[in-house]
C-alpha cells in the first residue's frame, strides 16, 4: 500500500472509532430519556386512577413536563416559577354542571373581560363629565 492509502485508511478507522463513541453516548442519553418518560407516564397513570376529578390546572401542570417540539424543553425541564396558572372556582355556580368544561369556562371568562373593558371605558367617560368628555376623547 502506498503512504496516501495508509493515511486514508487510518483516517477512516479514526472516524469509525469516533462514531462508535458517539453512538454509545447517544444510546446512554436515549436510555436516560426513556427512563424519564416512563416515570412521567407512571405518575400520570397513578394520578388518573386515584383521587377526585382533577382540575384543568392540575392536568396542565402534569402534562407540561412531557416532551414537546420546543428545543428549550430538551435542554432542561420547565421551571415551575416560569409557568402561570389560573384556577377558577366553579363550586358555587348554579348553572347546569354538565355544560361546564374548560372550554366553556375559558370562553365565558374571555367574554366577561371583553364586557368589562367597555364598562371601564364608559365609567371613565362619565367621570370626565358627560358630553364634554366625548368631545375631549374625540379631540385626543
Q: What is the pLDDT of residue 50?
A: 62
Q: What is the pLDDT of residue 105?
A: 76
Q: Is the pLDDT of residue 135 over 50?
A: no
Q: b/e map of 57-69 (b: 16 or more CB within 10 Å)?
A: eeeeeeeebeeee
Q: Is the pLDDT of residue 137 over 50?
A: no
Confidence of residue 37 (pLDDT cuts 50, 70, 90): very high
Q: What is the pLDDT of residue 87?
A: 74
The Cα angle at residue 59 between residues 32 and 96, in degrees rounded to 5: 165
For the segment 62-107, what is each residue's pLDDT rounded down to a tens digit?
A: 665 555 555 444 445 556 666 666 777 777 776 666 567 777 777 8
Distance of alpha carbon 60 from its chain centroid, rounded?
8
Q: Grid coordinates representing 12?
A: 477512516
Amino acid at each position: 500500500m502506498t503512504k496516501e492509502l495508509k493515511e486514508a485508511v487510518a483516517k477512516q478507522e479514526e472516524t469509525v472509532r469516533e462514531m462508535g463513541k458517539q453512538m454509545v453516548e447517544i444510546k446512554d442519553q436515549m436510555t436516560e430519556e426513556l427512563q424519564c418518560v416512563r416515570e412521567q407516564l407512571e405518575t400520570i397513570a397513578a394520578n388518573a386512577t386515584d383521587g377526585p376529578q382533577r382540575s384543568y390546572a392540575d392536568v396542565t401542570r402534569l402534562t407540561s413536563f412531557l416532551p414537546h417540539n420546543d428545543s428549550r424543553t430538551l435542554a432542561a425541564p420547565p421551571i415551575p416559577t416560569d409557568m402561570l396558572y389560573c384556577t377558577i372556582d366553579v363550586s358555587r355556580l348554579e348553572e347546569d354542571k354538565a355544560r361546564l368544561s374548560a372550554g366553556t369556562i375559558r370562553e365565558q371568562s374571555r367574554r366577561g373581560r371583553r364586557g368589562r373593558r367597555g364598562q371601564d371605558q364608559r365609567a371613565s367617560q362619565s367621570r370626565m363629565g358627560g358630553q364634554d368628555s366625548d368631545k375631549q376623547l374625540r379631540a385626543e
